Amino acid sequence: ALGAGILIHNTGTPVCSFNTVIGCRVYYNYMVGVSQNGHSDGIIRDNIIYENGAEGLTVDILSHNNYIYNNTLDKNNTDNRGVGGIGIDDANGNRVDNNTVSNTFHKSGITFQNNIGGCDGTIVSNNHLINNAQYGIMERYTLFANTNTSFQNNTFDGNVLGETFILY
């Protein structure tokens, strides 16, 4: 497909919330596998997301209080269009838990990019970050800072540049 695999985007009112993506296979998309923008209180779980041109999954721009867990993301960012396997920007109160992010091309497994806004209260826990081209997790303050971010019990193996990188 020339776009994204699954888009959960709020294009105005009413608010886009309480959507679920469960048990899907999302692959070979030109851009993002699963993209959230302005989506709150959703659940993305038990998906297999692989070989997409940009991120496997994004939590972007006013996407708050989502629960992303038990997903397998492999070989995403094939065309170097995204910021990592999972990209997070301007999103608060999200939980990213028990995902496997592996073999991300060109970038890190999980990346906080923060071009649009900072993130507050994100919990990144129990994830397996394996053989990604840069770091397992990269928290990068390009324009905005993260606050109250928690990294707990993540495992790292074979990430080219190391486990975690925080750039202020």
Q: What is the pLDDT of residues 51-60, one digit of tens each?
A: 999 999 999 9
Amino acid at 103: N
CA–CA dist 134, 12 (Å, integer): 36
Which residue has better confidence, 117 or 142?
Answer: 117
Q: Which fold has domain 6-167?
A: Pectate Lyase C-like (2.160.20)
Q: What percent of the chain has pLDDT over 70?
A: 94
Whole-model pTM: value is 0.94
Task: Say what the pLDDT of residue 3 is.
Answer: 84
Task: Say what the pLDDT of residue 55 is.
Answer: 97
Q: What would the two tokens of residue 24 be?
A: 């899907």
Strands (E), 28-157: 34-37, 39-40, 43-45, 48-50, 57-60, 67-69, 72-74, 84-89, 95-97, 100-102, 108-112, 123-125, 128-130, 135-140, 150-152, 155-157
What is the average pLDDT score of the chain? 93
Task: Say what the pLDDT of residue 10 is.
Answer: 84
What are the helix (H) ranges across 15-162? none
The yes-or-no verdict on residue 161 having pLDDT over 60 is yes
Task: Say what the pLDDT of residue 20 is.
Answer: 96
Q: Which residues pair with 125 in a beta bridge?
A: 97, 152
CA–CA dist 45, 96 (Å, integer): 10
The yes-or-no verdict on residue 36 having pLDDT over 70 is yes
Mean of pLDDT values over 89-113? 96
- Residue 97's nearest CA partner among 134, 43, 39, 135 is 43
Which residue has better confidence, 2 or 89?
Answer: 89
19-33: pLDDT as tens digits: 999 999 999 999 999
